[in-house]
């Protein structure tokens, strides 16, 4: 293999698995260290800069970081990153003084369609640069789906108010109750740029027999949730069936339990394990006495005299073809009808752009989605950008944020007369953490420690009050315990070939057998010759250039604990522990010279 180029920003970025997995690339270990030090406001601001909604995401994020967490590969469970994010938000001081000041206007106007996470992120990035940002939303308050679709027992209004408030406080103009009905008209208002962050507002239908006849008791999940959110709906039948296996389904069933649903069941087509819902949301639903029945496909709504009486399901089983693709085939068991009073349909969401006229210069593909550049988020109209669910279909808040940052950068570059396809490199700092002979600036005393449970509100109390938040968040002590589980993967093992005398001290001390000195070879061959098995080829090998004996140093990054023992036991300082800090390029970052690599 070729010697690893550790100067490429991506190399060490990938080693910080959580940060790499996060669409917004939030510097997770950095803020977890700050939490451990009790510097909650600092931890919050790192989050705020990167993911804009730390308090909201600390309760609702889909957590792509956690399955990636290295702790999950060396112990059973990853660090509770999301809950620690909430800790930063819960325990911070007043951070208003740290927010950017509303800037003097630069005379350029940007319109936003929809006031959800994508639009607000773009506005947050652009407003401090002097852009006049106007956000239009059909709802009276900002927040979009965060406010209307996520139940209050998961995300209280106070948190949404606070974090959307920080953005609107930057001088962003919010026009609530003002739904944009015509793109053509909006274009006519001569904004310098338009950002469409209107989400995926339409719940998918389930067109099976009986749908029309029993319509009075069949509700589309997201519409029903927003009606509950606005207080238009405050009760449901005693027996409720929720169809669908995503997080919306979980929100529907738990909301139903709070509105009078005594026997609430979730029924999914797939197996329990393959459900789209996050594992912890399934857990929370089960905890609230909501059974999840799997491998059952709804085939008909049963009704008598226009009144829903139940749903009939066909039982299926999973079969895998030669390519490993799963097919659901009838299991041969008789159909089952489950009696119910109401059905909530949460089988997916769709985009809908009835308000974009055909002659706006915005082209759509065959799936009726706008043609959007995945890097710059520009549509075929150079002044119109898309982001969040509106751009590439339903995903999670953190994706909308990440796309918002990129779209904001494009808008800023376009309005500065620059080429939007040229993406500036992220800013990377690497600095040694050695402080003394046996002293490092981070806590590297790594011990086996199970993930801490988060306290919940008593179930009886929680089920009575739809606005009572269920998760109570870590207290300071739990937060400290959980923060100490972080392995500090951003403190990198950096190897200097010229200093190495091949004494093997690092090989002997490494608790995880990560390091091997051996003859060079192709990657697949090298992976066979490492000191310990190498089960994750997606984890990089760090390879040195040729050493004096003609061998190379190979380090499998996979399960490195970043304990620093290699550096500790290295007599020549060939190993050093260096903190890697990467700041993703946002609108207004400097040095737009070199084009970005793969990051």
Partner 1 sequence: MPALVAGIHAFLPGHDVDGRDKPGHDGLGIAGDLMTYIAKPKFHHPSLKKNELGYTHRDYEGKISTLCAGCGHDSITASIIEACYELSIEPHRVAKISGIGCSSKTPDYFLGNSHGFNSVHGRMPSVLTGANLANRDLIYLGVSGDGDSASIGFGQFAHSIRRGVNMTYIVENNGVYGLTKGQFSATADRGSKSKKGVTNTDNAIDLVAIALQLGATFVARSFSGDKTQLVPLIAAAIRHKGASFIDVISPCIAFNNHAGSTKSFDYVREHNDAVNRLDVLVGRDPIAVDYAPGTVQMVEQHDGSKIALRKIDADYDPHDRLGAQTFLARHAAKGQIVTGLLYVDPDAEDLHEHLNTVETPLNTLEADTLCPGSAVLDKINASLR
Name the site residues for partner 1 (rule: CB under 8 A).
73-75, 438, 444-448, 501-505, 507-509, 511-514, 532-533, 535, 548-549, 559, 561, 563-565, 568-572
Q: Which residues contact 458 (CB under 8 A, 6 or more apart)?
A: none
- We find the least distance from the C-beta atom of residue 38 to partner 1, in angstroms, to be 16
DSSP type of residue 359: G
Closest to partner 1 by CB, 204 vs 551, is 551
- We find the least distance from the C-beta atom of residue 454 to partner 1, in angstroms, to be 24
Report yes or no: 202 and 248 within 8 Å, Cβ to Cβ. Answer: no
Closest to partner 1 by CB, 416 vs 518, is 518
- The residues pairing with 350 across neighbouring beta strands, listed in sequence order, are 202
Question: C-alpha angle with apex 432: 3 to 5, nearest 5 degrees?
Answer: 15
How far is residue 119's CA from residue 53's CA, in Å, rounded to a whole number?
Answer: 13
- We find the least distance from the C-beta atom of residue 538 to partner 1, in angstroms, to be 16
Closest to partner 1 by CB, 215 vs 501, is 501
- We find the least distance from the C-beta atom of residue 482 to partner 1, in angstroms, to be 17
Closest to partner 1 by CB, 309 vs 509, is 509
Closest to partner 1 by CB, 73 vs 178, is 73
Which residue from 454, 487, 473 is spatially nearest to 36, judged by alpha carbons? Answer: 487
Closest to partner 1 by CB, 185 vs 499, is 499
Tokens of 442: 């981070």
Closest to partner 1 by CB, 419 vs 525, is 525
Closest to partner 1 by CB, 73 vs 211, is 73
- We find the least distance from the C-beta atom of residue 545 to partner 1, in angstroms, to be 18
Tokens of 11: 């190399």
- The size of the chain, in residues, is 599
- We find the least distance from the C-beta atom of residue 502 to partner 1, in angstroms, to be 6
- We find the least distance from the C-beta atom of residue 495 to partner 1, in angstroms, to be 15
- We find the least distance from the C-beta atom of residue 530 to partner 1, in angstroms, to be 10
Which residue from 414, 345, 365 is spatially nearest to 193, judged by alpha carbons? Answer: 414
- We find the least distance from the C-beta atom of residue 433 to partner 1, in angstroms, to be 13
Closest to partner 1 by CB, 67 vs 535, is 535
Tokens 């100067």: give the residue: 7
Closest to partner 1 by CB, 91 vs 517, is 517
Extended strands (E) in 325-437: 326-330, 336-339, 342-345, 349-350, 384-386, 427-432, 434-436
Tokens of 383: 């002044």
Tokens of 80: 């509770």
Extended strands (E) in 416-490: 427-432, 434-436, 439-440
Q: Residue 230 belongs to what H/E stretch?
A: none
- We find the least distance from the C-beta atom of residue 550 to partner 1, in angstroms, to be 10
Closest to partner 1 by CB, 30 vs 568, is 568
Long-range contacts of 99-107 (CB under 8 A, 24+ apart): 99/166, 99/169, 99/170, 100/127, 100/128, 100/170, 101/128, 102/127, 102/128, 102/169, 102/170, 102/171, 103/127, 103/128, 103/129, 103/130, 103/171, 104/130, 105/130, 105/131, 105/132, 106/130, 106/131, 107/132
- We find the least distance from the C-beta atom of residue 91 to partner 1, in angstroms, to be 23
- What is the residue-wise DSSP string for 553-574? EEEE-TT-----HHHHT-SSS-
- We find the least distance from the C-beta atom of residue 78 to partner 1, in angstroms, to be 14
- We find the least distance from the C-beta atom of residue 514 to partner 1, in angstroms, to be 8
> How buried is residue 548: exposed, middle or buried, by Cβ count under 10 Å (0-12/13-18/19+)?
exposed
Closest to partner 1 by CB, 78 vs 144, is 78
Extended strands (E) in 159-306: 173-176, 193-196, 202-203, 218-220, 239-243, 263-267, 292-293, 296-304
Closest to partner 1 by CB, 274 vs 546, is 546
Tokens of 33: 């260290």
Cα 230 to Cα 148, 171, 247: the distances in Å are 7, 27, 20
């Amino acid at each position: 293999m070729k010697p690893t180029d550790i100067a490429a920003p991506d190399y060490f970025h990938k080693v910080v698995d959580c940060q790499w997995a996060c669409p917004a690339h939030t510097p997770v270990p950095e803020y977890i260290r700050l939490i451990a030090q009790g510097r909650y406001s600092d931890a919050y601001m790192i989050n705020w800069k990167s993911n804009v909604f730390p308090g909201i995401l600390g309760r609702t994020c889909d957590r792509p970081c956690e399955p990636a967490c290295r702790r999950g590969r060396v112990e059973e469970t990853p660090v509770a990153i999301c809950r620690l994010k909430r800790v930063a938000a819960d325990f911070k001081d007043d951070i208003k003084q740290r927010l950017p000041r509303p800037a003097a206007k630069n005379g350029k106007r940007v319109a936003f369609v929809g006031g959800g996470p994508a639009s607000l992120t773009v506005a947050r990035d652009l407003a401090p640069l002097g852009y006049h940002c106007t956000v239009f939303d059909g709802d009276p308050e900002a927040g979009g789906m965060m406010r209307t679709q996520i139940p209050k027992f998961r995300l209280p209004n106070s948190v949404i108010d606070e974090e959307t408030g920080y953005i609107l406080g930057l001088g962003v103009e919010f026009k609530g109750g003002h739904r944009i009905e015509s793109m053509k008209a909006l274009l006519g208002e001569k904004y310098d740029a338009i950002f469409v962050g209107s989400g995926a507002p339409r719940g998918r239908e389930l067109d099976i027999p009986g749908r029309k006849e029993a319509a009075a008791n069949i509700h589309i999940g997201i519409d029903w949730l927003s009606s509950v959110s606005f207080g238009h709906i405050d009760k449901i039948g005693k027996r409720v069936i929720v169809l669908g296996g995503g997080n919306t389904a979980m929100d529907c069933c738990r909301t139903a339990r709070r509105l009078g649903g005594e026997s609430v069941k979730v029924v999914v087509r797939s197996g329990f394990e393959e459900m789209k819902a996050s594992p912890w949301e399934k857990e929370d639903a089960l905890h609230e006495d909501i059974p999840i029945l799997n491998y059952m496909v709804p085939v008909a709504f049963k009704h008598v005299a226009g009144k829903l009486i139940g749903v009939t399901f066909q039982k299926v089983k999973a079969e895998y073809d030669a390519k490993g693709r799963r097919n659901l085939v009838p299991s041969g068991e008789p159909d089952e009808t489950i009696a119910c009073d109401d059905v909530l349909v949460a089988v997916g969401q769709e985009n809908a752009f009835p308000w974009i006229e055909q002659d706006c210069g915005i082209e759509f593909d065959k799936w009726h989605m706008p043609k959007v550049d995945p890097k710059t988020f520009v549509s075929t109209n150079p002044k119109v950008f898309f982001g969040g669910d509106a751009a590439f279909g339903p995903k999670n808040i953190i994706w909308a944020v990440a796309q918002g940052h990129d779209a904001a950068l494009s808008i800023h570059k376009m309005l500065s007369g620059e080429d939007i396809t040229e993406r500036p490199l992220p800013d990377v700092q690497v600095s040694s953490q050695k402080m003394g002979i046996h002293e490092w600036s981070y806590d590297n005393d790594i011990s086996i420690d199970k993930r801490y449970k988060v306290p919940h509100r008593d179930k009886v109390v929680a089920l009575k009050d739809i606005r009572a938040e269920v998760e109570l968040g870590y207290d300071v002590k739990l937060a400290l315990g959980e923060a100490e589980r972080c392995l500090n993967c951003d403190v990198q093992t950096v190897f200097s070939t010229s200093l190495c005398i091949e004494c093997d001290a690092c090989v002997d001390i490494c608790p995880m057998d990560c390091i091997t000195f051996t003859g060079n070879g192709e990657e697949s061959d090298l992976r066979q010759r490492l000191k310990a098995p190498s089960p994750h080829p997606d984890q990089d090998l760090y390879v040195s250039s040729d050493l004096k004996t003609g061998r190379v140093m190979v380090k499998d990054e996979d399960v490195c604990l970043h304990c620093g023992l290699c550096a500790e036991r290295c007599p020549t300082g060939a190993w050093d522990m260096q903190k890697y800090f990467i700041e993703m390029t946002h609108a207004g970052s400097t040095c737009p010279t070199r084009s970005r690599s793969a990051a």
